[in-house]
């Protein structure tokens, strides 16, 4: 890492800052309580009676729906600082919601996510991760009137135990959500088999790189999910190596934040890919780890994450106010705060043996098939992160986009290359860094399949269905290759970037280089053609992308073919796309200049 400077956190007294965060959480929770009470279903003939209607128009028992509202209501009821403290109407509403959870629980103890995942052990584990905390919060509070609600929630939890002891998962993070649920259940129901099942999952080993990246590479969602789950598992099982994994990821995340507070999601392997997220859902785990480690950096990051809490959009297992109330011992008001960096060059996973790991796939025996999940082959790929005050750059292989840039408010969300050789987007498979020059490369291959040897054909050829032929025995013929490279160079004074794209000498392969911009800016240029649905073609000269005086100027374009889109390259809505049409062989250089209000265009 090259650290070129730092920025201090708020100068306010740290105790005052923590108090301000707490009181803002209480206010937000009271406002949410008031709003969600209006959405409780009170028709006694409805199967959703007592549940809280969510964005689907019905009430659901998953971790983002009714249980999350139950957490907020419980926090309000037991907290003297809430205007709903010991409120009888809210208590009655909470009792109905707890009964709803019992009514919607399946006979096998599970709940369903609803959008997918029915009778789902991992989604039940998400709920258990929160309901165990709600149960503890109510049980610890000396208020007899809350006992019936606690009893209902305790019954709900007890019913989940068979599913938690036998249930499986879909995704890598599900394993850690389940282990956390098992450990949190064990706090309430001290059954040894709960810990034994947790050990079964943990025996698979932790899927995290030395630099702190989880398999799913999901900075917007699933990093925080794995972190909070393994914090609880590590705490309750006294496993310091689990705490170390959480620690690594939290340190990594300091380098994955744009100046606006937006989290880097440009290379995610999950549904947060390319979406906008802040650090808000990291607040509970940064606070808990800051207290655990007495770490000034984590304390500062907890404050920073808390500054983005504008509502409780996290699941019940990661509820910010409930975490504060259930774990009051995690008091960070007396901890020093470290300055947070805003100038750095950081290469993540530079030493991770991704090539060696990928070469071992054939030996495992799963033939690249796993039910209801993904292989996540980009796990451990290098990522370059560069911050220079209001400039933020990400360079990455094995993703649809290989470069993204933030310049103040101007957002170049990505640059991608598509070809007709292996139709679709090119994912460069290696990256090298040499001072301020970053090189990405790949060699595409495409061949033809010969006839299956006769002695390997099935005996019956009646109908000869294609899908019943043993295609794995076809010999490859006429294998063709196309070498592609991108060279990215940082210019002087951090105000210019050079993007050089080149191919080998193969002729007449159609290609399209695409600059992806946010919808909020204005595009202009001497020689750009407007197409359909936010698409433009950049033929020559220079073009500008302007957001409130923060300008990205790009030179120059090309228009060597007339295709509006290269085969199998899709462009989601909500962005502006500027295409440069190329035909191999090519060797083109594009310059991106960063201009602001004080610069002349």
Q: Compute the radius of gyration of the chain from its Cα atoms.
A: 27
Work out the pLDDT band at 364, boundaries 50, 70, 90. Answer: confident
> Residue 321: what are its φ and ψ, rounded to 5°?
-70, -40
Pairing of strands 550-555, 587-595: antiparallel
Q: What pLDDT digit, counting tens, does each position of 513-528 carry? A: 999 999 999 999 989 9
Q: What pLDDT was estimated at residue 462?
A: 78
412 - beta bridge partners?
405, 517
d(CA 202, CA 179): 8
Q: Are 52 and 97 in contact (CB under 8 A)?
A: yes
Q: What pLDDT was estimated at residue 570?
A: 80
Q: Are 72 and 36 in contact (CB under 8 A)?
A: yes
Q: What pLDDT digit, counting tens, does each position of 138-181 carry? A: 999 999 999 999 999 999 999 999 999 999 988 998 999 999 99
Residue 568 has pLDDT above 60, yes or no: yes
Q: What pLDDT was estimated at residue 597?
A: 66
**Burial of 304 per CB tally in 10 Å (0-12, 13-18, 19+):** buried
Report, as an integer, the average pLDDT of 90-114. Answer: 96
d(CA 390, CA 431): 25
Q: What pLDDT digit, counting tens, does each position of 403-454 carry? A: 999 999 999 999 999 999 999 999 999 999 988 899 999 999 999 999 999 9
Q: What pLDDT was estimated at residue 573?
A: 80
Count of CB atoms situated within 10 Å of the CB of 231: 23
Q: What pLDDT was estimated at residue 109?
A: 95
d(CA 485, CA 444): 11
d(CA 548, CA 490): 24
**Mean pLDDT computed over every residue of the chain:** 92
Helix (H, G, I), strand (E, B) or coil at 85: coil
pTM above 0.75, yes or no: yes
Work out the pLDDT band at 459, boundaries 50, 70, 90. Answer: confident
Hey, what long-range contacts does 63-66 have (CB within 8 A, 24 or more apart)?
63/123, 63/126, 63/127, 63/129, 63/130, 63/315, 63/316, 63/317, 64/315, 64/316, 65/114, 66/97, 66/100, 66/101
List domains and CATH numbers for the chain.
Answer: 1-29+206-343 (no CATH), 39-197 (no CATH), 409-446+482-595 (2.70.98.50)
Residue 581 token pair? 């049409």
Residue 592 token pair? 């991106």
In order, the DSSP letters of 274-332 are: T----SGGGHHHHHHHHHHHT-HHHHHHHHHHHTT-SS--S-GGG-HHHHHHH-TT---
Q: What pLDDT was estimated at residue 13?
A: 58
Hey, what long-range contacts does 36-42 have (CB within 8 A, 24 or more apart)?
36/69, 36/72, 36/73, 37/90, 37/93, 40/93, 40/96, 40/97, 42/96
Q: What pLDDT digit, counting tens, does each position of 63-92 carry? A: 889 999 999 999 999 999 999 999 999 999
């Amino acid at each position: 890492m090259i650290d070129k400077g730092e920025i201090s956190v708020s100068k306010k007294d740290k105790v005052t800052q923590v108090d301000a965060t707490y009181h803002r959480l209480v206010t937000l929770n009271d406002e949410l309580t008031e709003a969600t009470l209006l959405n409780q279903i009170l028709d006694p003939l409805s199967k959703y009676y007592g549940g809280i209607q969510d964005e689907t128009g019905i009430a659901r028992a998953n971790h983002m729906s009714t249980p999350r509202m139950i957490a907020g209501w419980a926090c309000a009821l037991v907290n003297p600082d809430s205007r709903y403290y010991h409120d009888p109407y809210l208590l009655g509403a909470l009792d109905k919601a707890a009964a709803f959870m019992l009514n919607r629980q399946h006979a096998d103890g599970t709940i369903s996510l609803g959008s997918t995942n029915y009778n789902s052990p991992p989604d039940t584990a998400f709920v258990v991760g929160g309901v165990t905390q709600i149960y503890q919060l109510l049980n610890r509070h000396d208020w007899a009137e809350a006992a019936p609600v606690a009893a209902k929630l305790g019954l709900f939890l007890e019913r989940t135990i068979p599913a938690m002891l036998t249930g499986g998962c879909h995704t890598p993070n599900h394993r850690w959500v389940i282990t956390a649920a098992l450990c949190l259940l064990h706090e309430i129901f001290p059954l040894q088999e709960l810990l034994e099942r947790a050990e079964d999952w943990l025996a698979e080993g932790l899927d995290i790189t030395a630099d702190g990246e989880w398999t799913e590479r999901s900075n917007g969602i699933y990093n925080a999910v794995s972190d909070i789950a393994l914090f609880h598992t590590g705490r309750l099982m006294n496993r310091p190596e689990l705490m170390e994994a959480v620690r690594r990821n939290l340190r990594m995340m300091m380098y994955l934040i744009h100046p606006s507070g937006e989290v880097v999601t440009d290379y995610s392997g999950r549904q947060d890919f390319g979406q906008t997220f802040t650090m808000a859902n990291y607040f509970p785990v940064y606070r808990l780890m800051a207290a655990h480690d007495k770490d000034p950096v984590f304390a500062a990051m907890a404050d920073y994450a808390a500054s983005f809490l504008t509502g409780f959009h996290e699941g019940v297992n990661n509820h910010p106010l409930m975490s504060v109330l259930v774990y009051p011992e995690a008091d960070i008001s007396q901890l020093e705060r470290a300055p947070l960096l805003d100038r750095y060059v950081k290469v993540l996973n530079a030493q991770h043996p991704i090539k060696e790991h990928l070469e071992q796939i054939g030996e495992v025996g799963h033939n690249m098939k796993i039910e209801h999940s993904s292989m996540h082959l980009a796990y451990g790929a290098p990522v370059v992160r560069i911050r220079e005050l209001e400039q933020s750059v990400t360079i990455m292989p094995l993703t649809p986009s290989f470069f993204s840039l933030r310049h103040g408010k101007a957002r170049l969300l990505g640059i991608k290359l598509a070809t007709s050789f292996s139709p679709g987007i090119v994912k460069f498979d290696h990256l090298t860094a040499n001072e301020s020059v970053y090189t990405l490369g790949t060699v595409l291959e495409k061949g033809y399949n010969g006839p299956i040897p006769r002695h390997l054909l099935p005996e019956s050829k009646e109908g000869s269905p294609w899908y019943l032929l043993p295609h794995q025995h076809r010999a490859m013929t006429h294998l063709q290759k196309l070498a592609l490279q991108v060279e990215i160079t940082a210019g002087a004074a951090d105000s210019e970037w050079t993007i050089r794209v080149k191919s080998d000498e193969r002729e007449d392969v159609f290609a399209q280089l695409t600059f992806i911009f946010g919808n909020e800016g204005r595009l202009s240029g001497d020689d750009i053609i407007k197409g359909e649905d936010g698409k433009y073609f950049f033929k020559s000269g220079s073009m500008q992308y302007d957001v409130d005086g923060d300008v990205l100027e790009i030179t120059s374009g090309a228009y060597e073919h007339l295709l509006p889109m290269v085969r199998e390259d899709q462009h989601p809505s909500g962005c502006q796309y500027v295409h440069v049409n190329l035909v191999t062989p090519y060797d083109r250089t594009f310059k991106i200049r960063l201009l602001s209000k004080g610069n002349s265009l």
